[in-house]
Amino acid sequence: MFLSPQKLDLRSAGAGAAVTRTAPQSPTIPVRVTYGDSMGGRTWRSGVVLALVAAFAVLPLIVRVLPAGPPGGEAVSLLARVRGSFEQPYSGFAESTGSLALPAGTDLADVVSLLGGRTQVRVWWRSSRDWRADTLTPTGEVDSRTTLSGSMVWDYEDNRVLLTRPEPAGAVRLPTSGDLLPPQLAARLLSEAAPELVTSLPSRWVAGRRADGLRLTPGEALSTIGRVDVWADRESGVPVAVDVFGTDLRSPALSTTFLDFSDDAPAAATTAFTPPPDARVRTRQRFNLVRAVGRLPDQGLPGRLLGFDRAAPLPDLEGIARYGRGVTQFAVGALPIGTAESLRAQLQVAASARPLPEGIAVSVGPVGLLLTDPAVTGRAWLVTGTLTPDGLARVAAALPRGAA
């Protein structure tokens, strides 16, 4: 069941004096995030989870803060306001619920919980270079502080602090609870939206404030994203609600909404954080799974696939080619034969596995994955992204043949 605001306040207050001294409290401002259940079973193996998490990580979480562009209609003007609001300060309390049936017990338990469980996060956003998010757990909280110097994560229960260096632009990383906040999610989904693809939606009340809406319809026949609906606070332009629909438009695959919202700038003291003097401090290594996929040299992947241009390669990931536009994105990489066969054996027992002439495909919500059969495609390719199974197969069929 969902925890009431009263229970949350009591639990936070009881977390100990160290929390109140170093982690200032905020009003309880809930946000609900819900995922549509598209898995149809929970009989997954750890290797499948790793591969599908790689699918999320391969598609970089890039926010392109674009210029507003020329004036247009009502929807285009709102799109410009939303794009221009990324640095706008706000605060809130987020409650996310994921219903993707991923198993627990892997080394990526935090991501599995994020996509398949309930997450509650307080957030204070002063700018992209100064913000803080506190994720509540059943026994305490995990506090994250982001600055120009990098990020610092404090696990209250373990009394452990993890330090991470600043992320370079376009860095490949795993999704976090902060990525599901309406302003963050909208920024990523709308960063490349073409003006001709957006239309207006009726305004509505969100968190007691008037919000104006727009709809992005990608229009890509092979995309798993049917549409994205965004409502932005009329006063500030900050997105306060986002609904992401797959090809089944009956209900959103992902929905995130502020139940209460403030566009007042948080005080600097609110985002400031000092670890307790007895905390264990460690430096955290960045996620390396995708680097394992992309460690091979460029395999001569084409500059254009299915009408989508290839993006510039990321540092140390030359073996992974990225394609797409807007919310329709996909990536391709070659796997060493041993890794491919191990993954194939696990994919074959996955609940939603789908055999294709080119290989075996699996989908988690809007993200699909295809591991090709070397006997058909010349080598083991991993194709992943927001493409339908037919789209993944068409990509595989267009890849260069090589020695398996």
- Same domain for 293 and 279: no
Which residues, 6+ apart, have CB-to-CB distance to 372 below 8 Å? 358, 359, 379, 380, 381, 382, 383, 396, 399
Asked if residue 73 is part of any domain, the answer here is: yes
- Same domain for 315 and 277: no
Domain end among 283, 309, 331: 283
- Same domain for 279 and 154: yes
Residue 105 has what pLDDT? 45
d(CA 354, CA 203): 41
- Same domain for 296 and 225: no
The enclosing domain of 263 has a CATH number of: 2.50.20.10
**Residue-by-residue DSSP string for 101-167:** ---SSSTTHHHHHHHHSEEEEEEEEEETTEEEEEEEETTEEEEEEEETTEEEEEETTTTEEEEEPPP
Which residues, 6+ apart, have CB-to-CB distance to 109 below 8 Å? none
Residue 404 has what pLDDT? 41
- Same domain for 158 and 135: yes
- Same domain for 335 and 216: no
- Same domain for 297 and 244: no
Asked if residue 51 is part of any domain, the answer here is: no
Residue 78 has what pLDDT? 95
Domain end among 265, 283, 301: 283
- Taking the whole predicted model, whether its pTM rises above 0.85 is answered as no
Asked if residue 216 is part of any domain, the answer here is: yes
- Same domain for 304 and 273: no
Asked if residue 117 is part of any domain, the answer here is: yes
The enclosing domain of 303 has a CATH number of: 3.40.1000
What residue numbers bound the domain in which 171 lies? Answer: 5-41+63-283
Asked if residue 46 is part of any domain, the answer here is: no
Asked if residue 88 is part of any domain, the answer here is: yes
Could you report the average pLDDT of every consecutive run of 10 residues in the chain (404 residues)? 27 31 37 38 44 51 42 80 93 73 51 66 90 82 86 83 74 71 88 90 92 91 90 94 81 81 94 84 65 66 90 74 86 83 79 86 81 90 88 91 56
- Same domain for 241 and 101: yes
Handedness of CA 9, 10, 15, 17 (dihedral sign): positive
Asked if residue 191 is part of any domain, the answer here is: yes
Residue 114 has what pLDDT? 64
- Same domain for 303 and 245: no
Number of domains comprising the chain: 2
- Same domain for 327 and 267: no
d(CA 221, CA 228): 15
Residue 18 has what pLDDT? 31
Residue 106 has what pLDDT? 47
- Same domain for 218 and 104: yes
Residue 287 has what pLDDT? 53
Domain end among 260, 283, 306: 283
